Amino acid sequence: MDLDLDAHLTAAGAAVADAANLDALAAVDAELLGKRSVLATVRSQLGGMEPDQRKVVGRRVHEVRTEVERLIAERRSVLAAGARAVVLEAERLDLTEFDRGRRLGHRHVVTQTWERLEDLFVGMGYTVSEGPEIEDEWHNFGALNFPLGHPARDMYDTLYVEYGEPQSTLLRTHTSPVQIRVMEDQEPPIYSIMPGRVFRSDTADATHMPVFHQIEGLVIDRDITFGDLAGTLEAFTTAYFGAGFTSRLRPSYFPFTEPSAEFDIRRPDGSWLELGGCGMVHPNVLRSCGLDPEEWSGFAFGFGLDRLALMRHGIDDLRELFRNDHRFLGQF
């Protein structure tokens, strides 16, 4: 019996070593340690043995079984490591495989428009200024000559922030508050543009979004006239859209400019498109910023940046700009 078990252990060791994968090893495991294995059979015969023999054989069965279990466990960990390596290799993501030149992203069409506008005005001698998206009531309205309770405040569906006194803090509804900040911070002469994100409580549709972009322009200097404003907007129109485009101004109303105008551009096909507002900076606005209206004068303008992007690229739904489907954005 002892001899049989030694031979069995040798054969078992060979079978375990031969198992080529985890499935094969599971089969070998069942064969060597299962109910119908040699070891189970010998163990079932122990009861019929003499006590001395039972003791010797019993101990040997236990030793062989322990050794077979050890060999199987050892083989299993080797095979499992190999299997994991195969999976890792199959699932490996080699980022260097991508063709960098082709896969590299590009700027969003709104960012492209934003940067083009900056380039254009910087080329005309303007600086670029920024202000906060969360504003106080004074900069967004008060300093811009909208007194408290003034009906013109209703032109904007303002989103207020729960901070401080009710309605004292808001998401800026336009980029005009940056004009105030620029005049507070800098001595004239000022020639600056202020692109940025603005917010209104609007429902998204083809021409409205609750978050959109505007660009503001501000010039403060001595002896600035309405003619300077018209000339600047005309120069901008041709530079941005091309030689066939011109602009016109229509009388309008904004609390922070006097006189105020609406600014339209004329396409080569003769159609007109409303772009934004403009006017001569109101004396009250200059005073709010500590400037003497007798000494300084200026003009301001503001228009929608997203709109410009739509127009330039013939896109007919504003929402496309924010959906971020790269199959769409990739065209521009």
Stretch 126-165: interaction string toward ligand DAH, x if CB under 6 A:
----------------------------------------
- Helices 109-123 and 305-313 pack at an angle, to 10 degrees, of 100
Span of 58-66, 183-191, 277-285, 312-320 interacting with ligand DAH by CB under 6 A: 277-285
Tell me how many residues contact ligand DAH (CB under 6 A).
12
Measured CA to CA in angstroms, residue 297 lies from 171, 176, 211 at distances of 29, 17, 32
The answer to whether residue 172 forms part of the interface with ligand DAH (CB under 6 A) is: no
**Cα-to-chain-centroid distance, residue 66:** 59
Stretch 180-219: interaction string toward ligand DAH, x if CB under 6 A:
------------------------------------x---
The answer to whether residue 254 forms part of the interface with ligand DAH (CB under 6 A) is: yes
Percent composition of the chain: helix, strand, coil (DSSP 3-state, to 5): 50, 20, 30
From the CB of 285, what's the least distance to ligand DAH, in Å?
Answer: 10
d(CA 25, CA 235): 82
Q: Cβ closer to ligand DAH: 40 or 274?
A: 274
**Cα-to-chain-centroid distance, residue 311:** 24
Sign of torsion, CA 203 204 207 211?
positive
From the CB of 143, what's the least distance to ligand DAH, in Å?
Answer: 13
DSSP states of 120-136: HHHHTT-EE----SEEE
Q: Cβ closer to ligand DAH: 141 or 241?
A: 141
The answer to whether residue 302 forms part of the interface with ligand DAH (CB under 6 A) is: yes
Could you tell me if 103 and 323 are in contact, meaning their C-beta atoms sit under 8 angstroms apart?
Answer: no
From the CB of 165, what's the least distance to ligand DAH, in Å?
Answer: 24
Measured CA to CA in angstroms, residue 118 lies from 99, 107, 143, 258 at distances of 32, 15, 26, 26
Q: Cβ closer to ligand DAH: 47 or 151?
A: 151
Span of 47-55, 86-94, 283-291, 299-307 interacting with ligand DAH by CB under 6 A: 299-307
Span of 2-10, 20-28, 233-241, 276-284 interacting with ligand DAH by CB under 6 A: 276-284
Binds ligand DAH (CB under 6 A): choice among 277, 306, 309, 315 = 277
With a CB cutoff of 8 Å and minimum separation 6, the contacts of 174 are 140, 156, 198, 214, 216, 302
Could you tell me if 216 and 172 are in contact, meaning their C-beta atoms sit under 8 angstroms apart?
Answer: no
Span of 99-107, 232-240, 275-283, 315-323 interacting with ligand DAH by CB under 6 A: 275-283
Span of 23-31, 68-76, 233-241, 294-302 interacting with ligand DAH by CB under 6 A: 294-302
The answer to whether residue 121 forms part of the interface with ligand DAH (CB under 6 A) is: no
From the CB of 199, what's the least distance to ligand DAH, in Å?
Answer: 11
Could you tell me if 179 and 156 are in contact, meaning their C-beta atoms sit under 8 angstroms apart?
Answer: no
Q: Cβ closer to ligand DAH: 15 or 236?
A: 236
Show the tokens assigned to 167.
């309605």
The answer to whether residue 279 forms part of the interface with ligand DAH (CB under 6 A) is: yes
Instruction: Please give the sequence-ordered ranges of beta strands (E in DSSP) within 72-206, or none if there are none.
Output: 127-128, 134-136, 169-171, 190-199
d(CA 240, CA 250): 21
Residues in contact with ligand DAH by the rule CB under 6 A: 174, 176, 216, 254, 257, 276-279, 300-302
